[in-house]
Structure 1
């Protein structure tokens, strides 16, 4: 028993169950008795992530934690929690990821695998790009030198008599080495991805007073928006909040409870969804793409062949002739994505397009989208990608509330945090400096509070401190690690409710306080 107790102490396993349940809760896994076989693919991956995290915690300081694309199937709030969690752990981390903000947050060294070689960069993603660019410049210079030498030596070889001296044999061997280097380091041909898009008229997509519920869950509550040509809109929000449902309603693939959806006559949608690659017969990958078109038209009047387009998205010549059934899950997603783009739509709707893409393919996708002149509507958990691709957000905040924000994701987060700080600071100042002052007379009688509004204001001044205190207590209990799981789940739900109440009541308090 003493040995067993010592082992439990060594593994710090006294709070194991509580810590495991908290990790599962943070990853939105609440039905602990549900058989794993009944879970969705995304839920299973989150269970596997939770298992790896708790095992690493049990062997703190003596563990190599290996994570392969851990941010796939996580929403932004989960990713940000995971960043904080990993940063606080005493663990050696080896991580494969395409999420560049996540990479910067948790890693201090980058390994790049390129052409059967490994390059080490001791720094963040920007440092990696800078150093890789310098390395490629040096390699390009060396390649050009080798080509110049190769041309001269080739001319010499052609002039030589068949009889070889020892000296000429040595030079011939050197020529063979240069020839091998030149042939191995072929530069990738530059292929233009500037899109010659099919014409998009003035009327694009209208959503008028759209409502959608699933039982008691409100997805859309009177959503109203007219999409314009050239708009680049991102959608953010927690998993399960209704982002994919919104896309289906916009595409008229799912009916709203009420409201109208109108498509322009010239709109050609390109829809990349979570259902994946759909095919009836097992054909080769390039044949699948050619079923849509043989060539892709570009803005300069040239054409990109299906093979060239596939190569830009990571399908080499040999891979292009692989049967669809033999492709991996990630390869099928890439093929699905590039086939959507190759059809030359003028309105792209992309649901988590960055999953299963390596960084090179991801940069190709970004290059394509930056040149794309049509409309773009993107759901993505990749914050770096969203910051580059969109200049306008629909932020799903729950209960049917969608915030229309003019800016990218980082600007949205900064604005939201600033608003929360200002509102609470203003509330605290008002309560501390003027707790019981009499209402001052005003010259504008129309702005005076009615009797009902005065009563409402007094109630708000009582309710806001109470709600803030309740939220603080619940957060302290959750962070203590001692709260039972059933209470933990209820506390998380209550905190969510309190946060919404505080936002609404603080805004109302500010409106009324300006008229006192």
Structure 2
């Protein structure tokens, strides 16, 4: 059953057609994701479908009685309302009854008559199950207690997004339109949201860059490319495969059209008179072939190959850092010595202090106690969540020239600011566009360019995936995989973290920081294993208590049964990771030991060299012995 449809819609923006004569339909139970590069018009198309913007041509129709709700990237509220009033602003009778019930129950001075009235109203509308769902949504999104009474004008960007998300989920519309729903949400909330949206009865249209979220939630991908719509029945992995097939077929078709065009052009130049039906058809076909042959097959690519400043021996040494705001302890005795090519993911719930730690490492914020020693050759590149600041009169190229007129690439080539912008998908015609006319994703891409143009050797990326399209993310990941400096990433994008982070700083309650060896999926498996072990311990305690109770109740008897031998403990996930790393470390140490032994046996070198080699060999033997003992302990656990 078709719930929403668009017929021949077109939209022009800044003298450019975003899409033209586009047709689209959404059926009951479809969970569709829009994808496409930044600036192709995904957000604009969503707003047109939601009825917030009118198309320049064509029409959008919604089936009678169907409610459509839209969640934008930057939610707009009545700033005079409280959070509670904003969430329950729907005209839904059940929601109004729940709001009144919550208000009375939370009022310590409520009257008995008022409580009786709201209870009867809840019973009459069978609202109790709905009320439980509302409480679950608010709880999972962290909208509780004092926050409900706060005015929406006082909320941070992340809190506003959560309030808007709570409102659309509580309303339970027939069609849900979500534009980047995972932005500003922490990892645990994203996992809860994807499980909630992964429902066969839900009709959903969304724009998101989160590839795990796409794989879990979407059952169809719609690509917006050069004003055309391409549909793929399946998840993100299926889309990637079929998109490559489509592009390969298009390449073959265009090449054939170009060959045919050369032949037909010679015939057209002889000025044929279209007297016959066949000649007229051939002339018409020529113009169709000409259009196909002129298709641009050159795919713009971002070449992120900027030169990296050489790192020194010391990078950053953080020693016993402590930080708190009021009674809230954000960081408790954190120490770490950063090493070359460190690739660290920083994770934790919203408000845990991730940005605080980043600001301390970069000197923007001082710790309450402890020291941070930054190496003289360490050059930071800090990509923050703060939106790009610019003057309304500034153009794209002005933003880049503020930092550098030329850019040196890794291969030694030097590019002008204009040439570098072109590599970042800002063609010459767009470089003199006012920055205010760029899409949100294009502004973020420009902001990233400004960070990389400084040739940093210590990259700090705070939520770099927000608003970037999938093509840009894939190329950014490829660059970061080959980046030779240190990398510290804060991201809610699990796919991004899994591909780039080799270990994690996990911010825990009370300011503790867990240094976990592995990526985010490894960490999730570790948590599940720990939860399973905790559940098993509880089961064993309960069984032990039951046996003790049974023993007290039963008559004393002499038992000849042999007591079972204690079950051998198995290695935890962290111990398995440590075992793997020990094997690699021992192999490296053995190689170094062989090299030093060869130098000692070679007989060439100064007395100072032999003394240094001998001292190093002794240290290597001791380190190897310690690692071998630990390796044997872990091997016993299996």
TM-score where L is the length of structure 2:
0.61
341-350 or 327-336: bigger deviation: 327-336
Q: Give SS of 1:395's match.
A: strand
1:198 to 309, 321, 331: 309
Superposed CA offset, 1:371-426 (max 9, x none) = 32211111011111111121111111121111111111001110121123224424
Partner of 1:369 in structure 2? 480
Classify the secondary structure of the residue corresponding to 1:54: helix
Counterpart in 2 of 1:339?
A: 450
Q: Distance in 1 between matches of 2:378 and 2:487?
A: 12
2:214 aligns to what? 103
SS in 2 for 1:420: helix
- Mapped pair 1:24 → 2:135: no
Structure 1 residue 224: Cα displacement: 0.8
Contact 2:300 2:425 in 1 (8 A): no
Question: How many angstroms apart in 1 are the aligned matches of 2:461 and 2:415?
Answer: 22
- How far residue 98 of structure 1 moved from its aligned partner, in angstroms, is 0.9
Q: Tell me how far apart the structure 2 counterparts of residues 355 and 323 of structure 1 sit (CA, whole Å).
A: 22
Larger Rg: 2
Distance change in 2, residues 1:190/1:98 (3 Å): closer
Give secondary structure in 2 for the equivalent of 1:51: helix
Q: Distance in 2 between matches of 1:315 and 1:21?
A: 46
Question: Is the counterpart of residue 48 in structure 1 residue 167 in structure 2?
Answer: no
| Aligned-residue offset at 1:190 | 5.2
Q: State the partner residue of 1:112.
A: 223
Contact 1:194 1:371 in 2 (8 A): no
**Match runs of 1:234-249 below 5 Å:** 234-249=345-360
Check the 8 A contact 1:195/1:373 in 2, yes or no.
Answer: no
Whether 1:421 and 2:532 are equivalent positions in the alignment is yes
* Cα shift readout 1:3-50 (whole Å, capped 9, x = no counterpart): 999x98997544555543432221122211111122122211211111
Structure 1: distance between partners of 2:125 and 2:180: 27
CA RMSD of aligned residues (A): 3.1
Structure 2 CA distance, aligned partners of 1:107 and 1:191?
27
| 1:381 and 2:381 correspond | no
**Pairing of 1:198-217 with structure 2 (within 5 A):** 198-217=309-328
How far apart, CA to CA, are the structure 2 residues paired with 1:84 and 1:235? 24
Q: Determine if contact 1:312/1:361 at 8 Å carries over to the other structure.
A: no
**Structure 1: gaps spanning 5 or more residues:** 438-516
**Closer, same or farther: CA 361–425 of 1 in aligned 2, 3 Å:** same
| Alpha-carbon shift at residue 320 of structure 1 (Å) | 2.6
Post-superposition offset of 1:288: 1.1
Tell me how far apart the structure 2 counterparts of residues 169 and 120 of structure 1 sit (CA, whole Å): 35
Contact 2:344/2:502 (8 A) holds in 1: yes
Checking the alignment, whether the CA contact within 8 Å between 2:301 and 2:424 is kept in structure 1 is no
Corresponding position: 1:76 with 2:192: no
Select the residue among 132, 136, 154 that pairs with 1:38: 154
Contact kept, 8 Å, 1:192 with 1:298, in 2: the verdict is no
Contact 2:397–2:431 under 8 Å retained in 1: yes
The 5-angstrom pairing of residues 219-258 of structure 1 reads: 219-258=330-369
**What corresponds to 2:507 in structure 1?**
396
Q: Superposed, which structure 2 residues align to 1:428-447 within 5 Å? A: 428-429=539-540, 432=543
Residues of 2 paired with 1:338 and 1:363: CA distance? 16
Looking at structure 2, the residues matched to 13 and 320 of structure 1 have their Cα atoms a distance apart, in angstroms, of 56
In 1, Cα distance between equivalents of 2:307 and 2:256:
38
Secondary structure in structure 1 of the residue aligned to 2:484: coil
Whether 2:204 is the aligned partner of 1:90: answer no
Once the two structures are superposed, residues 27-77 of structure 1 have per-residue CA deviations (whole angstroms, 9 ceiling, x without a partner) of 122211111122122211211111110111xx5xxx111111111111111
Show CA shifts across 1:244-283 (max 9, x none). Answer: 0000001011000111111111111111112221335731
Q: Does the residue aligned with 2:161 lie in a helix, a strand or coil?
A: helix
Gaps of 5+ in 2: 1-92, 98-120, 552-638
Cα contact 2:301–2:425 (8 A) shared by 1: no
How many angstroms apart in 1 are the aligned matches of 2:142 and 2:301?
44
CA distance in 2, matches of 1:420, 1:136: 46
Question: In 1, distance between residues paired with 2:225 and 2:515?
Answer: 42
Mapped partners of 1:371, 1:318: distance in 2? 31
* Deviation at residue 173 of structure 1 after TM alignment: 4.9
Aligned CA distance change for structure 1 residues 39 and 189 (closer, same or farther; 3 Å):
closer
Q: Does the alignment pair 1:350 with 2:461?
A: yes
Q: What is the distance in 1 between the residues matched to 2:293 and 2:189? A: 47
Distance 1:330 1:190 in 2: 16
CA drift at 1:353: 0.8
Q: Which moved more, 1:233-242 or 1:101-110?
A: 101-110
Aligned to 1:275: 386
SS at match of 2:219: coil
Aligned equivalents of 1:281, 1:116: Cα separation in 2: 28
The higher-RCO structure (CA 8 Å, 6+ apart) is 1
The number of equivalent residue pairs is 428
Partner SS for 1:184? coil
